[in-house]
Structure 1
């Protein structure tokens, strides 16, 4: 029921629905941890069946929501293994992306449509729905006309950077649910790995070469190489965004800001693109500046929620 409530909110509240959809993995993660693998599998399977009935068959939306539920299941699986937090997140995301790609290929075969054509049609449909949403919430008509005239160009770009958008989104959702799951599991007396204090987490130093390499590839004249560079850069910068958020959380904790103020500030970060860029830069330059002034080799146990 918790999964279906979150699903309904994400579908029927389109303006803020994406915030609800981010937490679809959470109830699956909880019940997989509580009930074990065999019984915990019932939750996503029943939820997928009910969602399929509501939507009216197998669609790309089913693949999307199924992937989110699989992410929660995979995260719980990784909790039972002695893996560092980075490996647990990467492994869970790898499982979801691999299964999702396989499901999309099978769906394209069943519908007798190429994968690229399928993705292009899906992106085009959602762009038109987004345009209708903008009209319904009172966006100025001049802006609507400007967006409408650029839909083909927007679709062209989105289709080609979709791999990195999907990977980056999966990575961020996995990290968000990891943080959200800890207090819930600990309050119920369920096991949660000792990953240390996550607001002290930092990306491996070697990852900076991903930024440099992707930037250099983007300078090449061939369009195909530039697309590879853009996709790689988006994924790597997502990791640094997560590190930047960890730094922000560290200072929120240090200054003992009340929880309501923290929530408002996090919402502002989520809604303002300028703040997003600032957070990415903070995470990126932390390798040299060390904003938190902490020893990267020193590991502290996490605090109870």
Structure 2
């Protein structure tokens, strides 16, 4: 039986889940290279507390973490939507596990719902920005390439190789 929303254990564990998600965000935003690997753990706090405390806690952790990220990054971007997708993945897997689905059904359903969420999020994002998807993707790629160009001397890559990569893309 799920705990009441005012129960101290529910409150403590929900806050712990939110803090774990925020710590993962902090690592990702502070250390981008390490963040690529740490980001893979983002669904776990949502999944764990979803299974431990119930649907309300998992949803509260995912929603609060997502909206805190939106506030931290000052808006919604592709990265923010990706983080939101990872949080939703934790919720969906929790639902599948609670219903004792087979691994094939759980992974298939999670993949289908995630793909649907990605399509819906991209459509909503492009509509809100008033641009086509290709224009948004071009801007995103240009930003990523400029960051890579700035980082290439710091991490010891050959500038000619970086320029060849940029021109090929």
Q: TM-score, normalising length from structure 1?
A: 0.47
SS at structure 1 position matched to 2:122: helix
Between 1:127-136 and 1:4-13, the stretch displaced more is: 127-136
**What displacement does 1:150 show?**
3.1
2:128 maps to which residue?
A: 110
How far apart, in 1, do the equivalents of 2:142 and 2:98 lie? 41
For the pair 1:97 / 2:112, whether they are aligned, the reply is: no
The root-mean-square deviation of aligned C-alpha atoms, in Å, is: 1.5
Trace 1:154-173 onto structure 2 (pairs within 5 A).
154=169
1:259 maps to which residue?
A: none
1:36 maps to which residue?
A: 54
Q: 1:86 to 1:120 in 2, by over 3 A?
A: farther
> Once the two structures are superposed, what CA deviation does each residue of 1:165-203 show, in whole Å capped at 9, x if it has no partner?
xxxxxxxxxxxxxxxxxxxxxxxxxxxxxxxxxxxxxxx
1:128 maps to which residue?
A: 146
> Once the two structures are superposed, what CA deviation does each residue of 1:79-136 show, in whole Å capped at 9, x if it has no partner?
0223221221121122112111111111101111111221232122112222322322
Give the counterpart of 2:63 among 21, 25, 45. 45
How far apart, in 1, do the equivalents of 2:128 and 2:26 lie? 27
Greater radius of gyration (CA): 1
2:38 maps to which residue?
A: 20
1:147 maps to which residue?
A: 162
How far apart, in 1, do the equivalents of 2:107 and 2:128 lie? 31
Unaligned runs of 5+ in 1: 155-305
How far apart, in 2, do the equivalents of 1:81 and 1:134 lie? 48
Q: 1:153 to 1:93 in 2, by over 3 A?
A: same
Residue-pair matches, total: 151
SS at structure 2 position matched to 1:22: helix
Structure (1 or 2) with the greater helix fraction? 2
Unaligned runs of 5+ in 2: 1-18
SS at structure 2 position matched to 1:147: helix
SS at structure 2 position matched to 1:82: coil
